[in-house]
Amino acid sequence: MTTSVVRIEDKLYQNRYLVDAGRPHIKVRQHQSPSSNLLALTLVCPANCYGVNEHGQVEVTADGCMECGTCRVLCEENGDIDWSYPRGGFGVLFKFG
């Protein structure tokens, strides 16, 4: 009997994204050192859109965002990020199968 392992990366790869070049729909507000909530985004984003740069600041690359809203719930109210949906026609296109 064989078992197959389904990896999240394999599922995410099936999605399609239309990137709105130069108009990211999520922005991290400028900071010297990140808040704990901002740092948490590097762990909780299912699409791995957040990372820490060489200066210890959190950055976002929203191209693969699935619009799940996790980062919005965690950080928008305290002002760490600006979040909006992509313009019509841009963003994620979910595919199943």
Residues at the site binding ligand SF4, with contacts judged by CB under 6 A: 26, 45-47, 49, 62, 65-71
Q: Could you give the CA distance from residue 73 to residue 94 in angstroms, rounded to a whole number?
A: 22
Residue whose CB is less far from ligand SF4, 1 or 66: 66
What minimum distance in Å lies between the beta carbon of 92 and ligand SF4? 8
Residue whose CB is less far from ligand SF4, 4 or 17: 17
Beta bridge partners of residue 82, listed in sequence order? 27
Residue whose CB is less far from ligand SF4, 38 or 65: 65
Give SS3 for 40.
helix
Give SS3 for 17.
strand
Q: Could you give the CA distance from residue 20 to residue 62 in angstroms, rounded to a whole number?
A: 10
Identify how many contiguous H helices and E strands the chain contains and give both numbers. Answer: 3, 6
What minimum distance in Å lies between the beta carbon of 46 and ligand SF4? 6
What minimum distance in Å lies between the beta carbon of 81 and ligand SF4? 8
